[in-house]
Amino acid sequence: MIKAIIFDFDGTLVDTETLWYKMYKDVLLEKYEVHLPLEEFAKVIGTTDEALYSYVHSQTKTTIDFTELEMEIKSKIMEQKDQLVLREGAADLIKQAKSMNLKVGIASSSPRKWIEDILEHVKVRDSFSVIKTKDDVSEVKPNPELYLKALEELDVLPHETLAIEDSANGSIAAIEAGIKTVIVPNEVTQFLTFDKRVSVYQHFSDIQLS
């Protein structure tokens, strides 16, 4: 019997990834004349950005301060944060989980402040009893540590839990933690190949917890 649901955050609950990709692509082209294919950006979805940095380095001789670049892009995103909303059907699924007395948490490779700020913006912060972020672990996804920490704090076993993800890296982390995993891909992850052990749904409304 399922006792808990653990959601990924970026791209799963809120589709920040499509906006991140658009901003990254536009800034790299405008400032450094670097073209960023979606296939390259998708490699770092759900994990660290090293592969993305390596790709950009290979496309330009200009030295780029990626910390500064990330801050610039994040600032641009927050200027347009009204575009950031819960994905369609996510609120209903959370409500359904609560009505079944399931514990609900988040396991995300993003920083805590980023997650907390957007959860407050979309008015669902109180729905999650546990939030595990990159600030809580030594390695992010696809390492399973985020999920293992979330399981521990939720006080549930892997087989009592459902993970909901949007990316290949995230799903590997959940699978490695022993958790049944569902994928709801978004605009920038829908073309990815997912592990055969996951179930893929196009919409949150397709997931029937009962």
For residue 6, the cross-strand partners are 105, 163
Rounded CA-CA distance 166/188 in Å is: 9
Q: Is 8 a catalytic residue?
A: yes
Residue 93: strand, helix, or coil: helix
Q: Is 10 a catalytic residue?
A: yes
Beta carbons of 173 and 147 less than 8 angstroms apart:
yes
Going along the chain, which residue ranges are E strands?
4-7, 103-107, 130-132, 161-165, 180-183, 199-200
Cis peptide before 144 (omega within 30 of 0): no
Q: How remote is the C-alpha of 44 from its chain's centroid?
A: 11
Rounded CA-CA distance 48/190 in Å is: 20
Q: Which of 10, 15, 92, 126 is catalytic?
A: 10
Q: Which of 8, 15, 136, 195 is catalytic?
A: 8
Rounded CA-CA distance 188/53 in Å is: 18
Q: DSSP label at 10?
A: B
- Catalytic positions, please? 8, 10
